[in-house]
Structure 1
Amino acid sequence: MARNLGNLDRALRVVIGIALLSLLFVLDGGLRWIGLVGLVPLLTAAAGNCPLYSIFGLLTCPLRTRNDRARG
């Protein structure tokens, strides 16, 4: 699986993921489980690949250009 996330994008995903996961400890009742959504940005940041970016052809990783990706 090719990497399509740049370092800034990955760092922002980690911050957003941690903020969402903190809702598990801040909210009460059934709403607290919304914090589990924070696992998605954390997992995509750890993998360095976002499936939605692949679908829409987005690329924030500076290591690969669109021409490199077209070649395979």
Structure 2
Amino acid sequence: MDKNIGDIDRILRLGVGIVLIILTLAGTIGVWGWIGVLPIATALVRRCPAYLPFGIKTCKPE
């Protein structure tokens, strides 16, 4: 499968995911902060299922 997440998008997803999980562990936000696992997972596999129906690709063309 082709990747559809570029480098900047990947870094932003990792950052947002990590911040959400840290805030959850610190008790600042509720259990909804565990949703931060999703952006981390999509950044690691470099595929975003939400981009597929719209044909969005933030990575450089190969």
Q: Deviations over 1:16-62 (max 9, x none)?
A: 0001111222226xx52111100000000000000011111101110
The residue aligned with 1:35 is: 33
Q: Which residue of 2 aligns with 1:8?
A: 8
- Count of aligned pairs: 62
1:63 Cα deviation from its structure 2 partner: 3.3
Quick check: 1:51 aligned with 2:49?
yes
CA distance in 1, matches of 2:3, 2:43: 10
**TM-score normalized by structure 2?**
0.88
**Which runs of structure 1 show a deviation greater than 2 angstroms over 4 or more consecutive aligned residues?**
none
Q: What is the CA distance between 1:2 and its match in structure 2?
A: 1.1
Identity percentage of aligned residues = 37
| Structure 1, unaligned runs of 5 or more | 65-72
Rounded to whole Å, the distance in 1 between the matches of 2:23 and 2:44 is 21
Look at both structures and tell me which one has the larger radius of gyration over its CA atoms.
1
CA RMSD in angstroms, aligned pairs only: 1.4
